[in-house]
Amino acid sequence: MNPSPSKVFITGGAGFIGSNVAKYFLERNHSVVIFDNLSTGYMQNIPSFLNVQFVKGDIRDKELLTKSMAGCEAVLHLAAAVGNIRSIENTVEDSEINVLGTLHVLDVARHIGIRKIVYSSSAAIFGELKRLPIDEEHPTTPDSPYGVSKLAGELHCLCYAKLYGMDIVCLRYFNVYGPNQCYDAYGNVIPIFSTRKLKGEPFVIYGDGEQTRDFVHVFDIAQANYLGTTLSNVGGIYNVGAGQSITINQLADMMNEIGDQKPVPIQHVPARKGEVKHSLATIEKAKKILGYQPTQTIQAGLKGYWEWIQSVS
Protein backbone atom coordinates (compact mmCIF):
# COMPACT_ATOMS: atom_id res chain seq x y z
CA MET A 1 0.00 0.00 0.00
CA ASN A 2 1.16 3.51 -0.84
CA PRO A 3 1.67 6.07 1.87
CA SER A 4 -1.91 7.36 1.83
CA PRO A 5 -2.33 10.76 0.18
CA SER A 6 -2.83 13.27 2.97
CA LYS A 7 -4.86 15.64 0.78
CA VAL A 8 -7.32 14.55 -1.91
CA PHE A 9 -9.29 16.53 -4.49
CA ILE A 10 -12.88 15.38 -5.10
CA THR A 11 -14.85 16.72 -8.05
CA GLY A 12 -18.59 16.46 -7.51
CA GLY A 13 -17.99 16.14 -3.79
CA ALA A 14 -21.26 17.84 -2.84
CA GLY A 15 -23.33 15.31 -4.76
CA PHE A 16 -24.88 12.05 -3.64
CA ILE A 17 -21.91 9.74 -4.19
CA GLY A 18 -19.18 12.37 -3.91
CA SER A 19 -20.28 13.55 -0.47
CA ASN A 20 -20.21 9.99 0.85
CA VAL A 21 -16.75 9.48 -0.64
CA ALA A 22 -15.58 12.72 0.96
CA LYS A 23 -16.92 11.63 4.35
CA TYR A 24 -15.15 8.26 4.05
CA PHE A 25 -11.79 10.02 3.53
CA LEU A 26 -12.43 12.62 6.23
CA GLU A 27 -13.26 9.93 8.78
CA ARG A 28 -9.83 8.46 8.06
CA ASN A 29 -8.06 11.77 8.75
CA HIS A 30 -7.37 12.87 5.19
CA SER A 31 -7.74 16.48 4.13
CA VAL A 32 -10.29 16.95 1.35
CA VAL A 33 -10.88 19.67 -1.23
CA ILE A 34 -14.41 19.45 -2.64
CA PHE A 35 -14.87 21.01 -6.08
CA ASP A 36 -18.52 21.25 -7.15
CA ASN A 37 -20.69 23.68 -9.12
CA LEU A 38 -23.77 22.76 -7.03
CA SER A 39 -25.87 22.10 -10.14
CA THR A 40 -27.03 18.82 -8.59
CA GLY A 41 -25.05 18.81 -5.34
CA TYR A 42 -25.97 20.58 -2.10
CA MET A 43 -23.98 22.41 0.54
CA GLN A 44 -25.78 20.45 3.27
CA ASN A 45 -24.28 17.25 1.84
CA ILE A 46 -20.75 18.41 2.63
CA PRO A 47 -19.50 16.67 5.78
CA SER A 48 -18.74 18.91 8.77
CA PHE A 49 -15.05 18.30 9.37
CA LEU A 50 -12.26 20.77 10.07
CA ASN A 51 -10.07 19.38 7.29
CA VAL A 52 -12.51 19.95 4.42
CA GLN A 53 -12.36 22.85 1.97
CA PHE A 54 -15.10 23.71 -0.54
CA VAL A 55 -14.56 25.38 -3.91
CA LYS A 56 -17.56 26.27 -6.04
CA GLY A 57 -16.44 25.59 -9.58
CA ASP A 58 -17.11 23.85 -12.86
CA ILE A 59 -14.76 21.19 -14.26
CA ARG A 60 -14.93 23.00 -17.60
CA ASP A 61 -13.06 25.89 -15.95
CA LYS A 62 -9.46 24.75 -16.37
CA GLU A 63 -7.94 27.82 -14.72
CA LEU A 64 -9.95 27.38 -11.51
CA LEU A 65 -9.26 23.63 -11.54
CA THR A 66 -5.52 24.34 -11.69
CA LYS A 67 -5.66 26.80 -8.82
CA SER A 68 -7.87 24.57 -6.66
CA MET A 69 -6.06 21.28 -7.27
CA ALA A 70 -2.63 22.63 -6.32
CA GLY A 71 -1.24 20.90 -3.24
CA CYS A 72 -3.38 17.79 -3.57
CA GLU A 73 -1.88 14.33 -3.99
CA ALA A 74 -4.76 12.40 -5.55
CA VAL A 75 -7.90 13.17 -7.54
CA LEU A 76 -11.26 11.43 -7.29
CA HIS A 77 -13.31 12.51 -10.30
CA LEU A 78 -17.05 12.13 -9.65
CA ALA A 79 -18.44 15.32 -11.22
CA ALA A 80 -20.65 14.47 -14.19
CA ALA A 81 -23.87 15.10 -16.04
CA VAL A 82 -25.76 11.95 -15.08
CA GLY A 83 -28.61 10.04 -16.69
CA ASN A 84 -29.56 8.43 -19.97
CA ILE A 85 -32.71 10.47 -20.59
CA ARG A 86 -31.07 13.76 -19.66
CA SER A 87 -28.20 13.01 -22.04
CA ILE A 88 -30.61 12.46 -24.91
CA GLU A 89 -32.27 15.80 -24.20
CA ASN A 90 -28.97 17.66 -23.65
CA THR A 91 -26.40 15.75 -25.70
CA VAL A 92 -23.91 18.57 -26.29
CA GLU A 93 -23.83 19.68 -22.66
CA ASP A 94 -23.51 16.04 -21.56
CA SER A 95 -20.41 15.65 -23.72
CA GLU A 96 -18.95 19.01 -22.67
CA ILE A 97 -19.11 18.03 -19.00
CA ASN A 98 -18.34 14.31 -19.17
CA VAL A 99 -15.75 14.31 -21.94
CA LEU A 100 -14.17 17.77 -22.08
CA GLY A 101 -14.51 18.23 -18.32
CA THR A 102 -12.82 14.89 -17.69
CA LEU A 103 -10.01 15.84 -20.05
CA HIS A 104 -9.50 19.06 -18.10
CA VAL A 105 -9.29 17.12 -14.83
CA LEU A 106 -6.78 14.68 -16.32
CA ASP A 107 -4.67 17.37 -17.93
CA VAL A 108 -4.53 19.62 -14.88
CA ALA A 109 -3.57 16.67 -12.68
CA ARG A 110 -0.83 15.69 -15.12
CA HIS A 111 0.68 19.17 -15.25
CA ILE A 112 0.56 19.56 -11.47
CA GLY A 113 2.27 16.19 -11.08
CA ILE A 114 -0.58 14.15 -9.57
CA ARG A 115 -0.25 10.50 -10.62
CA LYS A 116 -3.19 8.96 -8.80
CA ILE A 117 -6.70 9.44 -10.20
CA VAL A 118 -9.87 7.48 -9.51
CA TYR A 119 -12.52 7.97 -12.20
CA SER A 120 -16.20 7.26 -11.60
CA SER A 121 -17.70 5.40 -14.54
CA SER A 122 -21.02 3.63 -14.95
CA ALA A 123 -22.60 0.37 -16.04
CA ALA A 124 -24.35 2.53 -18.68
CA ILE A 125 -21.27 2.00 -20.84
CA PHE A 126 -22.32 -1.60 -21.53
CA GLY A 127 -25.54 -0.87 -23.41
CA GLU A 128 -27.48 -3.95 -24.47
CA LEU A 129 -26.20 -6.87 -22.43
CA LYS A 130 -24.81 -9.95 -24.11
CA ARG A 131 -24.33 -12.12 -21.01
CA LEU A 132 -24.73 -12.27 -17.24
CA PRO A 133 -23.07 -11.75 -14.89
CA ILE A 134 -21.25 -8.75 -16.36
CA ASP A 135 -17.47 -8.80 -16.13
CA GLU A 136 -15.01 -6.08 -17.12
CA GLU A 137 -14.48 -7.71 -20.53
CA HIS A 138 -18.16 -7.47 -21.49
CA PRO A 139 -18.62 -5.62 -24.82
CA THR A 140 -19.21 -1.88 -24.45
CA THR A 141 -21.90 -0.70 -26.86
CA PRO A 142 -23.59 2.19 -25.04
CA ASP A 143 -27.03 3.15 -26.30
CA SER A 144 -27.25 6.66 -24.84
CA PRO A 145 -25.06 9.78 -25.08
CA TYR A 146 -24.46 9.41 -21.33
CA GLY A 147 -23.04 5.91 -21.77
CA VAL A 148 -20.93 7.11 -24.70
CA SER A 149 -19.54 10.03 -22.70
CA LYS A 150 -18.65 7.88 -19.68
CA LEU A 151 -16.94 5.33 -21.93
CA ALA A 152 -15.01 8.16 -23.60
CA GLY A 153 -13.90 9.25 -20.13
CA GLU A 154 -12.63 5.74 -19.40
CA LEU A 155 -10.71 5.63 -22.67
CA HIS A 156 -9.11 9.02 -22.00
CA CYS A 157 -8.10 7.80 -18.53
CA LEU A 158 -6.48 4.66 -19.95
CA CYS A 159 -4.75 6.75 -22.61
CA TYR A 160 -3.32 9.19 -20.04
CA ALA A 161 -2.16 6.29 -17.89
CA LYS A 162 -0.30 4.80 -20.83
CA LEU A 163 1.14 8.03 -22.22
CA TYR A 164 2.17 9.70 -18.97
CA GLY A 165 2.64 6.86 -16.48
CA MET A 166 -0.30 7.92 -14.34
CA ASP A 167 -1.90 5.44 -11.93
CA ILE A 168 -5.58 5.68 -12.91
CA VAL A 169 -8.41 3.52 -11.61
CA CYS A 170 -11.79 3.44 -13.39
CA LEU A 171 -14.71 2.24 -11.27
CA ARG A 172 -17.87 1.10 -13.06
CA TYR A 173 -20.78 1.64 -10.68
CA PHE A 174 -23.95 -0.42 -10.89
CA ASN A 175 -27.22 0.70 -9.18
CA VAL A 176 -26.00 2.90 -6.34
CA TYR A 177 -28.27 3.91 -3.45
CA GLY A 178 -27.93 5.33 0.05
CA PRO A 179 -27.92 8.53 2.14
CA ASN A 180 -27.92 11.88 0.32
CA GLN A 181 -29.68 10.35 -2.70
CA CYS A 182 -32.73 12.50 -3.37
CA TYR A 183 -35.83 11.83 -5.42
CA ASP A 184 -35.39 12.14 -9.17
CA ALA A 185 -38.14 11.07 -11.56
CA TYR A 186 -35.46 9.71 -13.93
CA GLY A 187 -33.27 8.29 -11.19
CA ASN A 188 -32.88 5.21 -9.03
CA VAL A 189 -36.02 3.31 -8.15
CA ILE A 190 -35.20 3.23 -4.42
CA PRO A 191 -35.62 7.00 -3.81
CA ILE A 192 -38.71 6.93 -6.04
CA PHE A 193 -40.31 4.10 -4.05
CA SER A 194 -39.29 5.73 -0.76
CA THR A 195 -40.87 9.05 -1.70
CA ARG A 196 -44.08 7.28 -2.73
CA LYS A 197 -44.10 5.31 0.53
CA LEU A 198 -43.79 8.55 2.51
CA LYS A 199 -46.83 9.92 0.68
CA GLY A 200 -48.80 6.68 0.86
CA GLU A 201 -48.83 6.44 -2.93
CA PRO A 202 -48.60 3.17 -4.91
CA PHE A 203 -45.27 1.77 -6.04
CA VAL A 204 -45.34 1.96 -9.84
CA ILE A 205 -43.55 -0.97 -11.49
CA TYR A 206 -42.89 -0.99 -15.21
CA GLY A 207 -43.62 -4.34 -16.84
CA ASP A 208 -43.91 -7.56 -14.87
CA GLY A 209 -41.41 -6.49 -12.20
CA GLU A 210 -39.17 -9.47 -12.81
CA GLN A 211 -36.36 -7.28 -14.13
CA THR A 212 -33.33 -7.52 -11.86
CA ARG A 213 -30.83 -4.97 -10.57
CA ASP A 214 -27.54 -5.13 -8.71
CA PHE A 215 -28.08 -2.53 -5.96
CA VAL A 216 -24.84 -1.40 -4.33
CA HIS A 217 -24.75 0.78 -1.24
CA VAL A 218 -22.94 4.11 -1.49
CA PHE A 219 -20.82 3.19 1.57
CA ASP A 220 -19.35 0.35 -0.49
CA ILE A 221 -18.79 2.71 -3.42
CA ALA A 222 -16.87 4.96 -1.02
CA GLN A 223 -14.82 1.96 0.12
CA ALA A 224 -13.89 1.16 -3.50
CA ASN A 225 -12.82 4.76 -4.09
CA TYR A 226 -10.67 4.69 -0.98
CA LEU A 227 -8.97 1.43 -1.95
CA GLY A 228 -8.40 2.66 -5.50
CA THR A 229 -6.75 5.79 -4.12
CA THR A 230 -4.57 4.35 -1.36
CA LEU A 231 -3.26 1.26 -3.17
CA SER A 232 -0.40 1.68 -5.63
CA ASN A 233 -0.11 0.24 -9.13
CA VAL A 234 -3.70 -0.99 -9.33
CA GLY A 235 -4.66 1.03 -12.40
CA GLY A 236 -7.34 -0.33 -14.69
CA ILE A 237 -11.07 -0.93 -14.84
CA TYR A 238 -13.17 -2.49 -12.06
CA ASN A 239 -16.84 -3.30 -11.68
CA VAL A 240 -18.27 -2.08 -8.38
CA GLY A 241 -21.56 -3.67 -7.40
CA ALA A 242 -22.94 -5.91 -4.69
CA GLY A 243 -22.37 -9.01 -6.80
CA GLN A 244 -25.98 -10.09 -6.33
CA SER A 245 -29.29 -8.94 -7.74
CA ILE A 246 -32.96 -8.79 -6.79
CA THR A 247 -36.13 -8.27 -8.82
CA ILE A 248 -38.07 -5.01 -8.67
CA ASN A 249 -41.00 -7.01 -7.27
CA GLN A 250 -38.77 -8.23 -4.44
CA LEU A 251 -37.57 -4.67 -3.85
CA ALA A 252 -41.15 -3.41 -3.58
CA ASP A 253 -42.00 -6.13 -1.06
CA MET A 254 -38.88 -5.37 1.01
CA MET A 255 -39.68 -1.66 1.10
CA ASN A 256 -43.26 -2.33 2.15
CA GLU A 257 -41.94 -4.34 5.10
CA ILE A 258 -39.76 -1.48 6.39
CA GLY A 259 -41.09 0.80 9.11
CA ASP A 260 -44.46 1.00 10.79
CA GLN A 261 -46.43 2.43 7.89
CA LYS A 262 -49.22 0.56 6.21
CA PRO A 263 -47.95 -1.16 3.02
CA VAL A 264 -48.72 0.80 -0.15
CA PRO A 265 -50.37 -0.81 -3.19
CA ILE A 266 -48.24 -2.03 -6.08
CA GLN A 267 -49.28 -0.86 -9.54
CA HIS A 268 -47.94 -2.45 -12.73
CA VAL A 269 -47.85 -0.35 -15.91
CA PRO A 270 -46.51 -1.17 -19.41
CA ALA A 271 -42.76 -1.72 -19.66
CA ARG A 272 -40.62 1.18 -20.86
CA LYS A 273 -38.84 0.89 -24.18
CA GLY A 274 -35.11 0.35 -23.98
CA GLU A 275 -35.05 -0.62 -20.32
CA VAL A 276 -32.38 -3.14 -19.37
CA LYS A 277 -34.04 -6.40 -18.31
CA HIS A 278 -31.32 -7.76 -16.04
CA SER A 279 -28.16 -6.44 -14.40
CA LEU A 280 -25.62 -8.28 -12.25
CA ALA A 281 -21.95 -7.43 -11.77
CA THR A 282 -19.03 -9.78 -11.42
CA ILE A 283 -16.88 -8.12 -8.74
CA GLU A 284 -14.14 -10.74 -8.47
CA LYS A 285 -11.49 -8.47 -10.01
CA ALA A 286 -12.16 -5.68 -7.50
CA LYS A 287 -12.12 -8.21 -4.66
CA LYS A 288 -8.86 -9.79 -5.78
CA ILE A 289 -6.84 -6.69 -6.67
CA LEU A 290 -8.36 -3.91 -4.57
CA GLY A 291 -9.52 -6.01 -1.64
CA TYR A 292 -13.03 -4.65 -2.17
CA GLN A 293 -15.70 -6.37 -0.12
CA PRO A 294 -19.34 -5.22 0.00
CA THR A 295 -20.39 -4.65 3.60
CA GLN A 296 -24.02 -3.59 3.27
CA THR A 297 -26.82 -6.10 2.75
CA ILE A 298 -29.79 -4.87 0.76
CA GLN A 299 -32.06 -5.34 3.79
CA ALA A 300 -29.86 -3.25 6.09
CA GLY A 301 -29.18 -0.70 3.37
CA LEU A 302 -32.87 -0.16 2.63
CA LYS A 303 -33.66 0.22 6.33
CA GLY A 304 -30.89 2.79 6.71
CA TYR A 305 -32.01 4.69 3.62
CA TRP A 306 -35.62 4.75 4.84
CA GLU A 307 -34.50 6.18 8.18
CA TRP A 308 -32.41 8.81 6.37
CA ILE A 309 -35.15 9.93 3.98
CA GLN A 310 -37.61 10.21 6.88
CA SER A 311 -35.14 12.41 8.75
CA VAL A 312 -34.82 14.88 5.86
CA SER A 313 -38.46 14.93 4.74
Is residue 187 one of the residues assigned to a domain?
no
Is residue 15 one of the residues assigned to a domain?
yes
Domain count, the chain: 1
Residue 1 pLDDT: 46
The answer to whether 202 touches 246, Cβ cutoff 8 Å, is no
pTM of the model: 0.95
Is residue 249 one of the residues assigned to a domain?
no
d(CA 81, CA 150): 10
Residues forming the active site: 146
Which residues have CB under 8 Å from 18's CB, separation 6+? 10, 11, 12, 34, 36, 41, 76, 78, 79
Residue 11's CATH number: 3.40.50.720
Nearest to residue 76, comparing CAs of 173, 186, 183? 173
Residue 133: is the preceding peptide bond cis (ω within 30°)? yes
Is residue 159 one of the residues assigned to a domain?
yes
Is residue 165 one of the residues assigned to a domain?
yes
In what helix (H) or strand (E) does residue 192 lie, and over which residues does it extend?
helix 189-199
Count of residues in the chain: 313
Is residue 306 one of the residues assigned to a domain?
no
Is residue 119 one of the residues assigned to a domain?
yes
Which residues have CB under 8 Å from 252's CB, separation 6+? 193, 203, 205, 209, 266
What pLDDT tens digit does each residue of the chain (313 aa) get? Answer: 456 789 999 999 999 999 999 999 999 999 999 999 999 899 999 989 989 999 999 999 999 999 999 999 999 999 998 876 677 777 888 889 999 999 999 999 999 999 999 999 999 999 989 999 999 999 999 988 899 999 999 999 999 999 999 999 999 999 999 999 987 765 789 999 999 999 999 999 999 999 999 999 999 999 999 999 999 999 999 999 999 999 999 999 999 999 888 999 999 999 987 678 899 999 999 999 999 999 999 999 999 999 999 999 8
Residue 197 pLDDT: 96
Is residue 203 one of the residues assigned to a domain?
no
Residue 3 pLDDT: 64
HSE-up of residue 195 (Cα within 13 Å, Cβ side): 12
HSE-up of residue 115 (Cα within 13 Å, Cβ side): 14
- Name the residue range of residue 124's domain: 7-178+215-241+280-285
